[in-house]
Amino acid sequence: MTPDAPATAQAHDAPAQQLTAERGQSGAEARNGGPPVPAAPSAGPVPELSTPADLRRLTTRPSSARVCNWFLRGKDNYPVDADLARQLLDAAAFLRHAAAINRAYAKSTIAFLVRRGITQFIDLGCGLPVYPALYETAAGLLPEGTGVTVAYVDHDPIVMAHTSALLTPAPPHRTVHVRADLAHPEQILTDPTLLNALDLSQPVGLLAHAVLHELPDHQAYPTLQAFTRSLPPGSALSLTHPTADLRPTPMNTVAALSARAGLTPFFRSRDQIGHLFGGWNVLGPGLTETAHWHPGNTAAAYPAGTSAAYAAIALNP
């Protein structure tokens, strides 16, 4: 998502065939993308992707969604993304594991929330598609005939091209694709496509996985509050947020390298991240290193601090 640019929220029917033809990739290759990480800040409106020239222009600078795709050994990235990813990995060799941990957490979160009866989700800064997709994880836990609805939200037209092409399930499941700027939550919450798909009088799972560090403080806190104020009791917020707390020296280098490439991250401390939850009730084990949020999932596989992020789930009381 773009932190600073004004944008008009809109459902995006991107030219996915043109995108894959330009890169010589198949849909199956595109499916092996990265986690839900936002794209870079931009100085103007949400960019368009309607011609090969647009694609070339959009790929002259790295995107955090595509960098993360590279970390996960996906194919939906370009040389400019790979170049930055290698620099970051040289500075912080654990980042490839951190991306995998974030993805594992997202999958666990969906299962956890579906078991609590939540079947509609808003995925903020959804990033490039991965397998299994969010709706596929949820659908696998629901009785036959029970549907899940997901609104995928991102500002990046390349991301939207892939999600529109690949994340479109058969009934009873439903997905919609909203291209919008996270810094303007009111445009997302009033988007006709989203409102037609989701019943905001019923509990919603709000997913903010590795996205809010793209926003400075004066936008991050009001943005999340706008969403949490709009969701009904029983809704849940799942959040992961990169931090320099756990590995200060390499993560500070990551921040500097990213900023130099035009991707300025706002890594926050545990206390600062905790304030993002507002008055919602944070569930046990609380705000913790992402790999440790759900004991037994991934913690044993990685040294302490490898997540380079904190995670938690909170419920609207």
Q: Residue 295's pLDDT is what?
A: 56
The per-residue pLDDT for range 253-303, each reduced to its tens digit, is 999 999 999 999 999 999 999 999 999 999 999 999 999 987 555 556 788
pLDDT in the model for residue 185: 95
- What is the average pLDDT value for the chain, to the nearest integer? 84
Domain count, the chain: 1
Give strand pairing partners of 174. 149
Q: What is the 3-state secondary structure (H, E, C) of 68-94?
A: HHHHCCCCCCCHHHHHHHHHHHHHCCC
**How far is 75 from 234, CA to CA, in rounded Å?**
38
CATH number of the domain enclosing 4: 3.40.50.150
Share of the chain above pLDDT 90, in %: 70
Please determine, for residue 11, whether its predicted confidence score (pLDDT) is greater than 80.
no
Is the whole-model pTM more than 0.85?
no
- Rounded to 10 deg, the angle between the 248-260 and 79-91 helix axes is 160
Pairing of strands 174-179, 205-209: unpaired
- Percent of the chain having pLDDT more than 70? 81
Indicate if the pLDDT at residue 5 is higher than 50. Answer: no
pLDDT tens-digit readout, 187-223: 999 999 999 999 999 999 999 999 999 999 999 999 9
Q: CA 10 to CA 268: how far, in whole Å?
A: 30
Residue-level pLDDT at 302: 82
- Is the pLDDT reported for residue 42 higher than 60? no
Domain span at 138: 1-317
